[in-house]
């Protein structure tokens, strides 16, 4: 068994929606990103790669590569799960945390969990999603951007 952790940040920018855990959520701003800027899935990918000692998201899906412009980050997750499988690993569970003042994700929590579980080939009970504000402190608290953290456990297939 191995554990991995991941962190991702994106700045808010022009737009009317953010994509979080594969779910498009209407918001007063968008995010600045080469792909769809899904902080939850990017943190998850880094946690998966970290657990398997396979590097980081920037090595596998560089933001200079036109293939990933505007990309649905679900593609990064499925490709990473496949990389882990080739290396002899399966995912056991994932625990995700969103740090944001807004949007509030309560109404979408179960949809996000189900979607992420589907990408990982797990039942929804093996994917948790937490959210917190930072009490108006720091860049998250000033609503300058979004941050996500992920922890995963993997095991031999
Ligand atoms: Mg990112």
Helices in 6-155 by DSSP H: which ranges? Answer: 39-51, 57-60, 74-86, 109-120, 138-141
* Rounded distance from Cα 92 to ligand 1 centre (Å): 23
Specify the pLDDT at position 64: 87
Specify the pLDDT at position 67: 85
Specify the pLDDT at position 74: 97
* Rounded distance from Cα 61 to ligand 1 centre (Å): 10
* Rounded distance from Cα 135 to ligand 1 centre (Å): 23
* Rounded distance from Cα 28 to ligand 1 centre (Å): 20
Mean pLDDT by 10 residues, the chain (157 residues): 98 97 97 94 98 97 87 96 98 98 96 98 98 98 98 97
Phi, psi of 34 (to 5 degrees): -75, -45
**CA separation for the pair 68, 50 (Å, rounded):** 21
Q: Domains of the chain (ranges plus CATH)?
A: 2-156 (3.30.1330.50)
Specify the pLDDT at position 121: 97
* Rounded distance from Cα 102 to ligand 1 centre (Å): 18
* Rounded distance from Cα 33 to ligand 1 centre (Å): 7
Please, which residues have CB less than 5 A from ligand 1, an ion? 8, 42
Dihedral (Cα; 10, 12, 17, 22), 10-degree rounding: 10
Specify the pLDDT at position 63: 85
Q: Under a CB-based contact definition with an 8 Å cutoff, are residues 70 and 36 in contact?
A: yes
* Rounded distance from Cα 99 to ligand 1 centre (Å): 14
| Number of Cβ within a 10 Å radius of residue 109 | 17
Specify the pLDDT at position 65: 87
Specify the pLDDT at position 151: 99
Specify the pLDDT at position 71: 87
pTM value?
A: 0.97
* Rounded distance from Cα 66 to ligand 1 centre (Å): 15
* Rounded distance from Cα 37 to ligand 1 centre (Å): 5
């Amino acid at each position: 068994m191995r554990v991995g952790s991941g962190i991702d940040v994106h700045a808010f920018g022009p737009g009317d929606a953010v994509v979080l855990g594969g779910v498009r959520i209407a918001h007063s701003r968008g995010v600045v990103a080469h792909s769809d800027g899904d902080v939850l899935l990017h943190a998850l990918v880094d946690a998966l790669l970290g657990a398997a000692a396979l590097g980081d998201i920037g090595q596998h899906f560089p933001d200079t590569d036109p293939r990933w412009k505007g990309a649905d980050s679900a593609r990064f997750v499925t490709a990473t799960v496949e990389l882990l499988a080739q290396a002899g690993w399966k995912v056991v569970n994932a625990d995700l945390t969103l740090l944001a003042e807004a949007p509030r994700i309560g109404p979408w929590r179960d949809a996000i969990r189900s979607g992420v579980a589907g990408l990982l080939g797990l039942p929804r009970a093996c994917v948790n999603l937490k959210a917190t504000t930072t009490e108006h402190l720091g860049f998250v608290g000033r609503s300058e951007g979004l941050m996500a953290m992920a922890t995963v456990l993997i095991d031999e297939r």
